[in-house]
Amino acid sequence: MSAPLVIAVEPGSPAALAGIEPGDEILALNGEVPRDIIAYRLLTDEMDLALDISRGGLELQLDVHKAPGEPLGAEIQSALFDQVRTCDNHCEFCFIYQLPPGMRESLYLKDDDYRLSFLYGNFTTLTRFTEADFERVVTERISPLHVSIHATDPEIRSTLLRNRRGATSLRWLRALLDHGIEVHGQIVVCPDRNNGSVLDDTLAGVLDQYPDLASICVVPLGISRFNTEAAMRPHTLDEAREVVDTVSAWQETFLATLGHRLVFAADEYYLLAERPFPEPEAYEGFPMHEDGVGMARTFEMEFTGRVDEPTGVASGFFAWVDGAPPEGYRAPRTAIPVSADGTAVSLRPSPNAPIAILTGAYGAAILRPLLAPLDRSDIRVIEVPNTFFGGNTAVAGLMTGADIAAVLGEEPVGHRYLLPDVCLSQGRFLDGTTPEDLPRPVEIIPTDGIALRAALEKR
């Protein structure tokens, strides 16, 4: 178990006044050893703190005095100080198994950790959940959590997870709900596995056994060119339409019986089915926005000025690794424009510079109809094919530097190239490259409609 490492101290904060410095390791807080950022936050809520720290091999004790609930003012390097609870399922559809070789080691880690579920919105199957975990979640009110359901039939779920505990682990879901823990569910739909009548039975099982879930997202499986599971394949047009229709029918059932729609299909399904997105009201406040449910509608609302603030953080598939804020995916992030030589780029464009927006295939399908009413010939969308992952990978969050560079290398010098920040973590793309490696300067902007509108208005 490692100790929390301080990487920054806010000037004038209680931590600074007590003498805490970057590089200090916090061994204990009031005699307790925190195992993660959740425990750390609870312990640092106290007014008076005795910190045991290690500095350059020397152990010191520092006393902190602050107001109740006042932040300590010390930024910690990571969210977990003990080992990540890894996943012991072997799902056919797991995207981690479909990653290309040679990427950062942390990207290959399969987690099934309820703490990362709380902090970053990761989905846990609960197959490694224990009585001790349950007691802590309930006692400390670690909520909301996110649970992968996939199927409510025990045998089918066990088969999908390739883990016999998959047949019984949803008992923890029922127990969590019974104790007032907010839980959001997920169903990854795989053709010939849990679509069709199985999806219908799963949603019936939810109504019967877990009607107090906060929400459920239904998402299609992702397939990369490195997939080795022959049975796993993308949806056909008819299959995507069937899923959309099934979700729509169950929304009406849930609305009539529970008073809210409960289940929502991911935006990808409407694109795959070539169907229009539901109206904003149908998303009931966008409870699963960070899971790709309703992002297209919220982006439209932001871009057209119907709302004044972005709806939420687009966390991305690898939200928690390598540079994610320890506080979780809800923490604010800063977008930094950079040029090809690594220097800061002024957001003030040269007069009448043409603008190109870099995005994935799905993003392009959403952006083009939004931009058409502007009637501006100086704006275009550049769709970046995802050759790095291949398959049906089409979201902006999985764009890599190599693919972006290949596209930009064919583009003219002197244009403004806008890049959404969702494809970066700590300034790096998933393939390990950085914006400095690109052949053209780019302007990195937050992945929301308000930021895009503002960038387009800079003329």
195 contacts 187 by C-beta, under 8 angstroms? no
DSSP β-ladder status, 443-445 and 25-29: unpaired
Q: Is the dihedral of CA 213, 215, 219, 222 positive or negative?
A: negative
Q: What local confidence, expressed as pLDDT, does residue 102 receive?
A: 82
Residue 106 to residues 86, 110, 230, 369, 388: CA-CA distances in angstroms? 12, 9, 26, 37, 18
Task: Please tell me the distance from the alpha carbon of residue 262 to that of residue 83, in angstroms, as a whole number.
Answer: 34
pTM for this entry = 0.88
> Which amino acid makes up residue 195?
N
Q: What local confidence, expressed as pLDDT, does residue 338 receive?
A: 40
* Residues 96-293, CATH architecture: Alpha-Beta Barrel (3.20)
Task: Please tell me the distance from the alpha carbon of residue 309 to that of residue 312, in angstroms, as a whole number.
Answer: 9
Buried/exposed code over 92-111 (b: 16+ C-beta within 10 A; e: otherwise):
bbbbebbbeeeeeeebeeeb
DSSP β-ladder status, 58-65 and 215-220: unpaired
DSSP β-ladder status, 379-383 and 145-148: unpaired
206 contacts 152 by C-beta, under 8 angstroms? yes
Task: Please tell me the distance from the alpha carbon of residue 232 to that of residue 193, in angstroms, as a whole number.
Answer: 9
Question: What is 418-455 written as a DSSP string?
Answer: EEEGGG-BTTB-TTS--GGGSSS-BEEE-SSHHHHHHH
300: Cβ contacts below 8 Å, ≥ 6 apart: 306, 366, 370, 449
CA-wise closest residue to 458 among 313, 350, 316: 350
Instruction: Give the DSSP letter of residue 165.
Output: G
Q: Which helix (H) or strand (E) holds 59?
A: strand 58-65
CA-wise closest residue to 186 among 146, 136, 144: 146
CATH code at 6-76: 2.30.42.10
CB < 8 Å & 24+ apart, contacts of 25-31: 25/53, 25/54, 25/55, 26/51, 26/52, 26/53, 26/74, 26/76, 27/3, 27/52, 27/53, 27/54, 27/59, 28/52
445 contacts 416 by C-beta, under 8 angstroms? no
Residue ranges in the chain modelled with pLDDT below 70: 1, 312-351
Q: Is the dihedral of CA 189, 424, 293, 109 positive or negative?
A: positive
> Which amino acid makes up residue 248?
S
Q: What local confidence, expressed as pLDDT, does residue 327 receive?
A: 54
Task: Please tell me the distance from the alpha carbon of residue 443 to that of residue 344, in angstroms, as a whole number.
Answer: 9
